[in-house]
Amino acid sequence: MSADNLFQPPDALEREDATLAPYAMRTRDSRGRRHPEAPHPYRGLYQRDRDRIVHSTAFRRLMHKTQVLVSQTNDHHRTRLTHTLEVTQISRTIARQLGLNEDLTEAIALLHDLGHPAFGHAGEEALDECMAGHQGFEHNRHALRIVQTLEYRYAGFPGLNLSWEVLEAQAMHSKRRDDPEIKVFLTPPSPPSQGGAPGGWQPLLEAQIVDAADSLAYNAHDVDDALSVGLIPIADLDAVPFWKEAVERSRAKYPNLGPRQFQATIIRALIDWQVTDLLEHTRRNLREHRVGAVAHVRRCPQGLVGLSPEVVRLKAGLEDFLRERVYRHYRVMRMAAKGRRILHALFHEFLRLPDQLPERYRELLTVEAPQRIVCDYLAGMTDRFAQDEFLRLFQPYTLV
Ligand code: MG
């Protein structure tokens, strides 16, 4: 075989033209990067975004950050990293089925929880309390700060220099829409080449998918983890119609379903049911709204990606159960309270005497307010690093 017969892959733009639906975001329509860069010879714009996120320090730290249970609970419940990977693969499945930009979807999903501090939502609330009067703390905004300012891997620019669409997806997820760091990403381009119009500027479908996948992934895996670590007895879930129906469906499919595979089978059924429903309902929305371009997605009065009303109702029942029985379980509350206590103590101690900060953060004290620098240091910490740091500062006779 001569070398001429070797497979020649299409370039990134040709591949998009050949595989994407008309309402998918295309690289050629991107608003680009803040710091202009030459294209890579074979990796597309969003592929590079994905790769940069995976290679970042903040991404690796997700391995030791709490999703719901702190990392020491055991070795097989979800961490922020495995949650992120589950959200990413569910998002990619949906993107591929709808003909959306899978590379962009993947980058948005890998980024979506990058700004979370240690100890889950309790950690986020603690830092927000510490930062009262200093613009507060919110994980979406902090993710933008990480990828625009704090990562320092590239000679040519600060942060990761990600494309506009990935940053915009993160910003649109924030509830703090009046913060200047968020607001800058909420403006349609001018002239509105992507169809921007006041009052109707929706996230891209690729971003809407990740939002939906995040929610359905954590509902399913939080039940799974709660059962696995013994927070709830499995029989109590019979009171949840969504679970009960998933059990019936699974038993119909696998009449000999044994106890060993039972839990994983029901969790899988819940995910598959929601993904299939989401695909059907979203396709219906796309048809009804005659969506034939990104401009139509942008101008739509509401989001287009979603579950059917029936599954929304069932899912809400499961969420009520999780809220009452898992997120407020006394063992989860203890982990949360301890995490908050650790972050509060560290914050106030570093602020009292910033000379205790490591060199890199001490240098930054000349550039920004000490509260923000201490907050950056704390927000970067994993669960176990925060606990170790607490011991180093407050426990006599430990190494500093
Ligand atoms: Mg998430």
Query: In this structure, which topology does domain 10-196 adopt according to CATH?
Result: Hypothetical protein af1432 (1.10.3210)
C-alpha 210/C-alpha 84 separation (Å) is: 10
CA 204/CA 201 separation, integer angstroms: 9
Query: Residue 70 — pLDDT band, cuts 50, 70, 90?
Result: confident
Q: What is the pLDDT of residue 197?
A: 47
Residue closest to 271 by CA, chosen among 211, 213, 206, 209: 213
Distance CA 377, CA 358 (A): 9
Give distance in angstroms: CA of 343 to centre of ligand 1.
21
Phi then psi for 269, rounded to 5 degrees? Answer: -65, -40
Cβ atoms of residues 131 and 12 within 8 Å:
no
Instruction: Please tell me the distance from the alpha carbon of residue 251 to that of residue 110, in angstroms, as a whole number.
Output: 34
Query: In angstroms, what is the span from residue 231 Cα to ligand 1's centroid?
Result: 21
Residue with tokens 């349609």: 188
- Taking CA atoms, 16 is separated from 7, 13, 102, 333, 353, in Å, by 18, 5, 10, 47, 53
Scanning the structure block, which residue is given the tokens 């033209």? 17
What is the average pLDDT score of the chain? Answer: 93
* Most distant CA atoms of the chain, gap in Å: 72
What was the pLDDT predicted at 74?
76
Q: Rounded to whole angstroms, how far apart are CA atoms 279 and 282?
A: 5
Q: How far is the CA of 389 from the centre of ligand 1 (A)?
A: 26
Sign of the CA dihedral running 175, 180, 182, 188: positive
Q: How far is the CA of 296 from the centre of ligand 1 (A)?
A: 27
CA of 112 to the centre of ligand 1 (A): 6
223's enclosing H/E stretch is helix 205-228
The Å distance, Cα 300 to ligand 1 centre, comes to 25
Mean pLDDT along residues 196-221? 88
Quick check: 1 pLDDT over 60? no
DSSP label at residue 304: -
What is the 111 CA–ligand 1 centroid distance (Å)?
9
CA angle 395, 396, 397 (to 5 degrees): 115
Cα 384 to ligand 1 centroid, rounded to whole Å: 20
Which amino acid, residue 345?
A: A
Q: How confident is the model at residue 187 (pLDDT cuts 50, 70, 90)?
A: confident
Query: Quick one: CA dihedral 187, 182, 218, 83, positive or negative?
Result: positive
Count CB atoms within 10 A of the CB of residue 392: 13
Residue 79's φ and ψ, nearest 5 degrees, are -110, 175
CA 214 to ligand 1 centroid distance, Å: 5
Return the structure tokens found at 378.
């704390």
Residue 25 has pLDDT above 60, yes or no: yes
33 SS3 class: strand
- What dihedral do alpha carbons 46, 50, 52, 56 form, nearest 10°? 150
**What do you get for the CA distance between the two ends of the chain, in Å?**
64
Task: Give pTM, 2 decimals.
Answer: 0.95
CA 122 to ligand 1 centroid distance, Å:
15
Distance 152 CA to ligand 1 centre (A): 24
Please, are residues 228 and 78 in contact by the beta-carbon 8 Å criterion? no
Q: pLDDT category, 3, cuts 50, 70, 90? A: low
Residues of the chain with CATH 1.10.3210.10: 10-196
Ligand 1 center from residue 285 Cα (angstroms):
25
Ligand 1 center–CA 268 separation, angstroms: 18
Distance 137 CA to ligand 1 centre (A): 17
DSSP string of 93-135, one letter each residue? HHHHHHT--HHHHHHHHHHTTTT--TTHHHHHHHHHHHTTTTT
Query: For 39, which DSSP code?
Result: P
User: How far is CA 356 from its chain centroid?
Assistant: 32
The interaxial angle of helices 330-352 and 370-380, nearest 10 deg, is: 140
| Ligand 1 centroid distance, CA of 136 (Å) | 20
Gap from CA of 42 to ligand 1 centroid (Å): 30
Read off the pLDDT of each residue in 30-35 and give the average, rounded to a whole number. 96
323 C-alpha to ligand 1 centroid (Å): 16
Rounded Cα–Cα distance for residues 392 and 398 (Å): 6
Distance 123 CA to ligand 1 centre (A): 15
Distance 202 CA to ligand 1 centre (A): 20
| 274-302 pLDDT tens trace | 999 999 999 999 999 999 999 999 999 99
Task: Give the Å distance between the CA of 113 and the centre of ligand 1.
Answer: 5
Mean pLDDT, range 216-227, rounded to an integer: 95
- Distance (Å, whole) CA 281 – CA 160: 35
Give the distance (Å) from ligand 1 centre to CA of residue 187: 24
Q: Please tell me the distance from the alpha carbon of residue 166 to that of residue 303, in angstroms, as a whole number.
A: 18
What pLDDT does residue 71 have? 65
